[in-house]
Amino acid sequence: MPTILVVDDSRLVTDIVKMRLEMYGYTVQLAHSGEEALEAIAAEPPDLLVLDVQMPGIDGYEVCRRIRENPALDDLRIIMLTSSDDKRAAFEAGVDDYLNKDIDLLNLPNRVRLVLDME
């Protein structure tokens, strides 16, 4: 089963997303900052990153840009799950999909499956 790294500075959000994805059999790891996410990815890249935008320190856009600059991480899929409404900035940073956590959280497992199936 694919491994998903969920990154959000809100522990409540990461716990909810983790519980939701584990219900569908995914292995879920958590990070609570951009720095933690980049360290976890460097240690062992997940199959998918579910990433918030607004975090202290390195924000989600910068995490995404750094991943996309690294050829070794070309296969890493990224879903931005955020309250931000700036879809354009998210796609310019390199995300594969964008979900609004206030509206789309229930659809997350379906979107995860679709993004993981992308060629």
Q: Is 52 exposed, middle or buried (0-12, 13-18, 19+ CB in 10 A)?
A: buried
**pLDDT computed for residue 18 by the predictor:** 95
The predicted-structure confidence for 98-115, as pLDDT tens digits, reads as follows 988 766 666 778 788 888
**pLDDT computed for residue 103 by the predictor:** 62
The predicted-structure confidence for 4-24, as pLDDT tens digits, reads as follows 999 999 999 999 999 999 999
Cα distance between residue 25 and residue 69, in whole Å: 30
The predicted-structure confidence for 52-101, as pLDDT tens digits, reads as follows 999 989 999 999 999 999 999 999 999 998 887 788 999 999 999 998 87
Q: Give yes or no for a contact between 101 and 82, defined as CB atoms under 8 angstroms apart.
A: yes
